Amino acid sequence: MNETIRELLARVGGLPVAVTTLEDGADLYAAGLSSFASVQLMLGLEEAFDIEFPDALLNRRSFASITAIEETVSQILKAREAA
C-alpha cells in the first residue's frame, strides 16, 4: 500500500521535493501538497484500491501524511469488508 501511495503522490502530488525523500509521517501540505493535488490523489487512491472516500473522511487530516493516507485507506477497506 505504501508503495502505491508514494507512486500516486509522485504522479499527481505536484510536490517540489522527491517523494522518496519524505518520511511516512512527514506533513505533505508543508511539503507542498495543494488542495487540488489532494483531490487528484484521492481520485487516484479510489481507483487504485477500488474504494470510495466517505464524506466524513474528506478532510485535510486524511491526507496529511503518507501514514495518515495508509490509515484512512485501511479504515475504508475494513469498513467495506465488514459490510
> Residue 83: pLDDT above 90?
no
Looking at residues 7-27, what average pLDDT do you find?
96
Radius of gyration of the chain (CA): 12
Global model pTM greater than 0.85 = yes
Q: What is the DSSP letter of 65?
A: S
- pLDDT category at 7 given cuts 50, 70, 90 is very high
Determine the pLDDT at residue 59: 95
Q: Using one digit for the tens of pLDDT, what is the confidence trace for 27-77? A: 999 999 999 999 999 999 999 999 999 999 999 999 999 999 999 999 999
Q: Delimit the domains of the chain by residue range.
A: 2-14+27-82
The top-level CATH class assigned to 2-14+27-82 is mainly alpha
